[in-house]
Amino acid sequence: MTRRAVAMVVHSYYEEDPRVRREAEAVRAAGRAVDVFSLRRDGDPPEGELNGVRVRRLDVQRHQGAGIGTYLREYADFMARAALALTRAHTHRRYALVQVHTIPDALVAAALPLRLLGVPVILDMHEAMPEFFRMRFPGASRPAVHRALVVQERVSIAVANAVITVNDALAGRLVGMGVPAPKVHVVMNAPVLARFNPSAHPARPFMADGTLRLVYAGALSTVYELDVALEALARIRTERPGLPVALDLYGRDFAEVPLRDRAAALGLADAVAFHGRVPIDDVPAALAGSDVGLAPTRRTEFTDFSLSTKIFEYAAMGKPVVASRLPMVEAVFPPGTVTTYTPGDAAAMAAAITALLDDPAAREAAVARSSERVAELAWERVSERYLALVESLARDRA
């Protein structure tokens, strides 16, 4: 039996997308070749290989923070290029399976030619797109637009043989809207513990240099209330003038939120470091040098279905976590693991941070419990379910 390759289509930069990389590398490690069709950053070659995964970069770039018209043109351009590239590649690769990563949901149309030829398709729904659109473009979120997004979501799901989503809340949402339960599968955004391994980096005792070092690693976008984090930092400096405190921000700055200006206005220019985007493989080292990991997320209809992967990564690296009190955070992390605060409340966030400072015993207990919880949900375990689904659908040549 010849094991055919698997194709993946994703509207993102493959090198920067940890979920897609985890899944692609897992399939590759299980013995199948993997071709990923993704966006192309300026300066990147059109083709390459990363950890055994072949990457086909289509000549489309992201326009994060742009208007809705720019997004629609970008999506349409990528979808057309992906459909053509995937169809051409299939003539000689003969893919066993195509996995399409959202958003947008309608990107599944790029796999439609292969679907019509009998190739199975998995739709990996990273987000709930109708809720995402309402959060991202509140001015354009009219009832008719929302209904249209729900329709495209339903049609996209109908095209696929199976649907993957990232947590039980999103799976429940899909089943609640009529998607057959056997068609829906949960593959959590869990970290690879082999990558997020604290023993692989120099250990930093809490406040080893006398400074309380806070860290955030992720997109500097409107989904995350980093403005609230800056206000909390300013409050801590005011309430505890003798406490040296610093915040390291790792992530691409899309200029959607004027964080540098806000930090300067709060008198935090000397306390906040903007490191920019760092490669995925460098994130664990950045976290290892910190004291407290921050996962500040705004509460919206969209984020009620989301769970920040940053929480998993901080906990895996043995760091105490302060996160917004969101439904999925409380559902996945029981009391005594992650310190939560009321979203949007800078005073509550500041109090959550200083509580970790003032109670070393509780802090160490929380680190131990959150580490245990992450070990239960690690990619090394989650991947078994994912690979079983892939193999159940893949069509090989006798």
The CATH number covering residue 42 comes to: 3.40.50.2000
Give tens-digit pLDDT for 200-249: 898 889 999 999 999 999 888 888 899 999 999 999 999 999 899 999 99
Which residues, 6 or more positions from 193, have their beta carbon under 8 angstroms from its beta carbon? 316, 374, 375, 378, 379, 380
pLDDT band at 67 (very low <50, low <70, confident <90, very high): low
According to the model, what pLDDT value does residue 194 have? 87
Identify whether residues 182 and 223 lie together within a single domain.
no
Same domain, yes or no: 205 and 129: no
Residue 160 tokens, joined: 């696929």
pLDDT tens digit sequence for 258-315: 888 899 999 999 999 999 888 888 999 999 999 999 999 999 888 888 888 899 999 9
Beta strands in the chain (DSSP E): 6-10, 34-38, 47-50, 53-57, 97-101, 121-125, 162-165, 184-186, 212-217, 245-250, 272-276, 292-295, 321-324, 339-341
More confident residue, 397 or 369: 369
pLDDT band at 391 (very low <50, low <70, confident <90, very high): very high
Number of domains comprising the chain: 2
**Number of neighbours of residue 70 by Cβ within 10 angstroms:** 11
Domain that holds residue 269: 198-376
Cβ–Cβ under 8 Å, residues 9 and 98: yes
> Are 54 and 95 in the same domain?
yes
- Nearest Cα to 51, choosing from 82, 23, 87, 89? 23
d(CA 228, CA 376): 31
Looking at the chain, the whole-number percentage of residues with pLDDT higher than 70 is: 95
139 and 209 co-located in one domain? no
Are residues 136 and 263 located together in one domain of the fold?
A: no
pLDDT at 138: 65
At 221 the pLDDT is: 81
Does residue 398 lie within any of the structural domains? Answer: no
Tens-place pLDDT, residues 82-135: 999 999 999 999 999 999 998 889 899 999 999 999 999 999 999 877 787 777
Place of tokens 């809340």: 169
Q: Residue 382 CB: number of other CB atoms within 10 A?
A: 20
Q: CA neighbours within 13 Å on the CB side: how many for 70?
A: 9
Residue 20 belongs to a domain: yes
Confidence check: pLDDT of 66 > 70: no
CB-neighbour burial class of residue 329 (10 A; exposed 0-12, middle 13-18, buried 19+): buried
Residue 325 and residue 293 share a domain: yes
The answer to whether residue 279 is domain-embedded is yes
Task: Check if the beta carbon of residue 273 is closer than 8 Å to that of residue 298.
Answer: no
Q: Return the residue matching tokens 């070659």.
A: 45
Residue 102 and residue 124 in contact, taking contact as beta carbons nearer than 8 Å: yes
Measured CA distances, 4 to 9, 111, 333 (Å): 17, 17, 39
Q: What percent of the chain has pLDDT over 90?
A: 66
Give whole-number Cα distances, 118 to 95, 96, 111, in Å. Answer: 10, 10, 11
Residue 223 lies in a domain: yes
Q: Same structural domain for residues 345 and 306? A: yes
Q: Would 184 be classed as within a structural domain?
A: yes
Q: Give residue 122's pLDDT.
A: 97
Residue written as token pair 């406490």: 243
| Cβ atoms of 248 and 214 closer than 8 Å | yes
Contact in structure between 105 and 123 (CB atoms under 8 Å): yes
Token representation of residue 17: 């997308």
Q: What is the DSSP letter of 268?
A: -
Considering the domain architecture, whether residues 277 and 389 belong to the same structural domain is answered as no
Regarding whether 271 and 289 lie in a shared domain, the answer is yes
- Contact in structure between 166 and 331 (CB atoms under 8 Å): no
Task: Determine the Cα–Cα distance for residues 162 and 180; give it in Å rounded to an integer.
Answer: 10
Residue range 308-351, pLDDT digits in tens: 889 999 999 999 999 999 999 999 999 999 999 999 999 999 99
Q: Which of 308, 298, 294, 391 is nearest to 339 (CA)?
A: 294
For residues 350-362, give the mean pLDDT.
95
Together in a domain, 142 and 25: yes
The residue that leads in pLDDT, 180 or 256, is 180
Per-residue pLDDT tens over the stretch 8-33: 999 999 998 989 999 999 999 999 99
Single-letter amino acid code for the residue at 114: L
Q: Is the pLDDT of residue 398 over 70?
A: no
Q: Looking at the structure, do residues 354 and 383 belong to the same domain, yes or no?
A: no
- Token couple for 217: 């690693």
pLDDT of residue 139: 62
Query: Is 19 contained in some domain?
Result: yes
Res 49 pLDDT > 90? yes
What confidence category does residue 256 fall into, taking pLDDT thresholds of 50, 70 and 90? Answer: low
Asked if 306 and 333 sit in the same domain, the reply is yes
Confidence at residue 184, expressed as pLDDT on a 0 to 100 scale: 95
Torsion angle in degrees (nearest 10) through CA of 47, 392, 183, 81: 20
Q: Do the Cβ atoms of 287 and 217 come closer than 8 Å?
A: yes
Residue in 95, 85, 89, 105 with CA at minimum distance from that of residue 38:
85
